[in-house]
Structure 1
């Protein structure tokens, strides 16, 4: 290191040809533009990427030539904040100036992802509020009915209804918590998850007069509760949207180091199957009302352990499939 460079470092204000504040500005994720009397004096690396102008070329040019928006030029002149929609992105812009001195700064932050999450949270809250309202109202009706004397058979029927609605509420709570619950993965045979799902769905299978069968067992690595949630969502969908009384089959197959699970039903063909896995999306022929969150939750869980989830048509049946890590076979 030569003498001038050492002096610059000892001074603490310069490193080579670049000042320390300049280096800090280039580390910021926000785009920063500094100007004097409408002429650019400095842009950081993020600003150069945002406006597509190399830093050295931006310096000395009028602000408008760099930002290319009159709204931003006006914001710099008066100060304040605004949000812009530019090329499908949401930009939060803030400007400040020192008044008589002519110095001004513009800071631009990309808040697209933040706004998207806010919108999803609002939608999810509205959907869940609607979904909770139905079982809560049903439970209230059951409890009000049980206040009165009635034949034992009728009261037992009300109790069964209440238990079904309680189970529905429990499922909604599970769906709400899926994104926040920590993963507790372990090695387990698929048969263990299949047995749990079968027990929980036994009442619904009897009510619908439907049979449920499972394919060969495999050792897998997954969170047992989240795996159960995926199975319940897919099997309940098959029971709900398939013809009454038709069997639902859960097939399994080894795919290299992964295990593929497919839930097949006899429902009519479904167009645009991939869109069904998006939040708040239901099939065009889906009966009744629903949140449209079930398959979105399935894909979110499956992606969490590195797998894939999709829907297709197999031998005249709808197949909702997912993969999960295998551990080399049983035994």
Structure 2
């Protein structure tokens, strides 16, 4: 039995669908093209191009050469054709996921860039006020406002960087992340007359900064939408090789919790201005380390939960 030519092996290994023609007839399709058009190499060989691709658009593309994108059964296909005399080649690549990610990135960037305007305007006002002589306590108040807006800008920059920063995962105790979150939220907890308690400690494997970002987003949401002055709980539990973290608040029941994790989506009780990106960012980070993020009703409380890899008990 003759060995399979090297050319056949590498062309069949390509993820793109490849169709070769001579004089308007198909001479070769690779494995991906066979799956795309539902024809084996033997059945496709020698047939007119239109009988195989079943689209006049692709037949014309092969005749003229060039590139186009097609929407076929909910998928986006990038099609490229080249000609050399009577010979032609058509390459088709499924770019659906790539286009979806591009759209999500554009959407997230537009929302976050819009959100930058508020703290920038506030900082401008603070700096303009500090140009004038005023009592020390008043100037200190403006400085505090400026620092708060600077922190807000820093958080927005962090949100914008999700998906671009390389992951710097390490093993750490959850208590380390809890302590950082509590320290950064201390002013907000004091202002809202609230306290937060944390559950059992576990060793986990995660990027500390991204884990902190998840916790800050969830606890801040609980502070905003839960009853003022009510204690917050951050519970932990072991789920096989995963650790589940739940942030609970006593807010009203949410009819559609899943929709809250979409880009620029806000809950029905949301007030004031906001990007609606917090939970979208939470889920993006958690999916990045292979975990899950969701919301559910637990008794009289809303629970916003996520999982992350555990590395054994403390």
TM-score by length of 1: 0.87
Tell me what 1:12 maps to.
none
Is 1:29 the counterpart of 2:15? The answer is yes
Deviating runs (4+, > 6 A) in structure 1? none
Counterparts of 1:261-272 in structure 2, within 5 Å, are: 261-272=245-256
Q: Secondary structure, in 3 states, of the residue corresponding to 1:295? A: helix
Q: Relative contact order: is structure 1 or structure 2 higher (C-alpha 8 Å, sep ≥ 6)? A: 2
Q: CA 1:107/1:142 → structure 2, altered by over 3 Å: closer, same or farther?
A: same
Superposition RMSD in Å: 2.0
Q: Deviations over 1:118-145 (max 9, x none)?
A: 2222212212211212111111111011
Counterparts of 1:221-236 in structure 2, within 5 Å, are: 221-236=205-220
Is 1:218 the counterpart of 2:163? The answer is no
Find the partner of 1:291 among 275, 286, 289. Answer: 275
Find the partner of 1:183 among 167, 170, 186. Answer: 167
Following superposition, the deviation at residue 18 of structure 1 comes to 4.3
Rg: which structure is higher? 1
Find the partner of 2:145 among 161, 167, 170. Answer: 161
CA distance in 2, matches of 1:128, 1:245: 30
Q: Secondary structure, in 3 states, of the residue corresponding to 2:21? A: strand
Find the partner of 1:38 among 5, 19, 24. Answer: 24
Counterparts of 1:272-287 in structure 2, within 5 Å, are: 272-287=256-271
Counterparts of 1:28-67 in structure 2, within 5 Å, are: 28-67=14-53
Q: CA 1:179/1:19 → structure 2, altered by over 3 Å: closer, same or farther?
A: same
Tell me what 1:110 maps to.
94
Q: Is the 8 A contact 2:107 2:263 kept in 1?
A: no
Q: CA 1:111/1:207 → structure 2, altered by over 3 Å: closer, same or farther?
A: same
Tell me what 2:236 maps to.
252
Q: Is the 8 A contact 2:123 2:146 kept in 1?
A: yes
CA distance in 1, matches of 2:150, 2:283: 25
Q: Secondary structure, in 3 states, of the residue corresponding to 2:291? A: coil
Following superposition, the deviation at residue 68 of structure 1 comes to 0.7
Task: Tell me how many residue pairs correspond in the alignment.
Answer: 314
Tell me what 2:113 maps to.
129
CA distance in 1, matches of 2:221, 2:271: 11
Following superposition, the deviation at residue 17 of structure 1 comes to 6.1
Tell me which moved more, 137-146 or 205-214. 205-214
